[in-house]
Amino acid sequence: KIIERKGLLKEQGMSGGQQNKDEEVVAMVNRMNELKEKQDPGSTKKEKDSKKDAKKKTPLSQEEQKEYAKLKDEYEIYKAKCRTEFGYTNKDLKADPDIQEMEAKLSVFQKRS
């Protein structure tokens, strides 16, 4: 019924958003959701809210900013030291476990800042 109603509204020149706001379509969708909820409780609840909370960026505190800057400096110094003292190539640097660990920590900070 909903598809038929939307088809009719489309023929009348309504956009998709306008069709979704049509009183009859809204009533039919609400009824359908009620029936779904009766059949499987919790199925129509939105999980988007919990996902949004998990993805929210929490700004870095001043202490974390200092830690991030310190780690970034240590990373650059260690990388330069590996190149000059040990003759590491880019390939060697990527394989180094200490550098990988530092990069992982840095990426966590970068995602939040």
Q: What confidence tens digit (pLDDT) does each residue in 59-108 have?
A: 777 888 888 889 899 999 999 998 898 888 888 888 898 889 988 888 88
- What is the Cα–Cα distance from 71 to 77, expressed in whole angstroms? 10
Which letter, b or e, does each residue of 52-86 get, where b requires 16 or more Cβ atoms within 10 Å of its Cβ?
eeeeeeeeeeeeeeeebeeeeeebeeebeebeeee
CB of 105 closer than 8 Å to CB of 72: no
| Distance of alpha carbon 54 from alpha carbon 57, whole angstroms | 8
pLDDT at position 77 is: 92
Q: What mean pLDDT do residues 47-60 have?
A: 54
CB contact at 8 A, 80 and 60: no
> Running DSSP on this structure, what letter comes out for residue 61?
P
The pTM for the full model equals 0.47
